[in-house]
Amino acid sequence: MEGMKKIATRDSYGNALVELGKIHDDIVVLDSDLAMATKTVLFKKEFPNRHFDCGIAECNMIDVAAGMSTFGLVPFASSFAMFAAGRAFEQVRNTVGYARLNVKICATHGGISVGEDGASHQCCEDFALMRTIPNMVVMSPSDDIEARQMVKAVYKYKGAVYIRFSRYAVPIYHDENFKFEIGKGEIVRDGSDIAIIANGLTVSESIRAAEILKSEGISARVINIATIKPLDEEMILNAAKDCGKIITVEEHTIIGGLGDAVCSLLAEKNPVPVKRIGINDEFGHSGSAAELLKQFGLSAENICVKVREMLGKN
């Protein structure tokens, strides 16, 4: 992974909106006084008449987006994850989810990699919150190429979507031949001793871990599950069958996110040993993103430690 170009997926989001806006005039973008941070400012510069700043009022923003969708527009509503998923949960649930409206909720600054902003802004509960809403698609891209394709895919999809984008720059490991599909996982590295299932920025750390483990004679399969809901059950069940042991890695609390989704599936259909790596029922705190990712065990080095433990190769 060394030497790869890095970009934050929030930048990918802003760039994808501009690309879509040039083609589709039914796209509108809403923000909550955070356009510079969420990167919707890029869309605002190109299409000022289709960008709406709703102020520091995410609840109202979601309701405005819902209303716009009923007129045939395709609204992308943007804020930090803490506010898009947390503050506005009631409106997302009752106005968007219950009514089955075509609203795209695109949150940036999710997880502990928000860094120095601290626990109040480090939303590590958003996957869990959004997964509980019926008919809500929940996703988290792993790099720039996947993020841009994801935004274009959700424009075509008719229904409510929640996407978390990262503030932290991550390596671009996909090439332009990659094709993203909602609800489909991706085997990034094949292997047979253990499967590492990840999403978001933890995919690149999982790839790096697999490279380290390979030098030790351990064959680790790395799976990118960018769509947390609906889950690619077939890919996960095949991994359980082929590898026998699974580790999940996510920049989210281990309660209610990717790890829980994988565990629930396997408990019902093919029980195998699973270790969840994530935020262990605690709040984050202020610090650099790189330091926090290591401290909370989301580094390639810690993933390797957990793999060795599961395989009895300490």
pLDDT exceeds 80 at position 1: no
d(CA 219, CA 88): 43
Say whether 186-311 and 6-171 share the same fold.
yes
Report pLDDT digits (tens) over 117-161.
888 899 999 999 999 999 999 999 999 999 999 999 999 999 999
Residue range 264-284, pLDDT digits in tens: 999 999 999 999 999 999 999
Pick among 3.40.50.920, 3.40.50.300, 3.40.50.1970, 1.10.3720.10: CATH of 186-311:
3.40.50.920
Find the radius of gyration of the CA atoms of the chain. 19
What CATH number matches the domain at 6-171, 3.30.70.20, 3.40.50.970, 1.10.10.2120, 3.40.50.1820? 3.40.50.970
Per-residue pLDDT tens digits for 148-197 = 999 999 999 999 999 999 999 999 999 989 999 999 999 999 999 999 99
Locus of tokens 């106005």: 95
The H or E element containing residue 6 is strand 6-8
How far apart, in whole angstroms, are the C-alpha atoms of residue 126 and residue 308?
Answer: 30
Q: Give me the active site residues, please.
A: 58
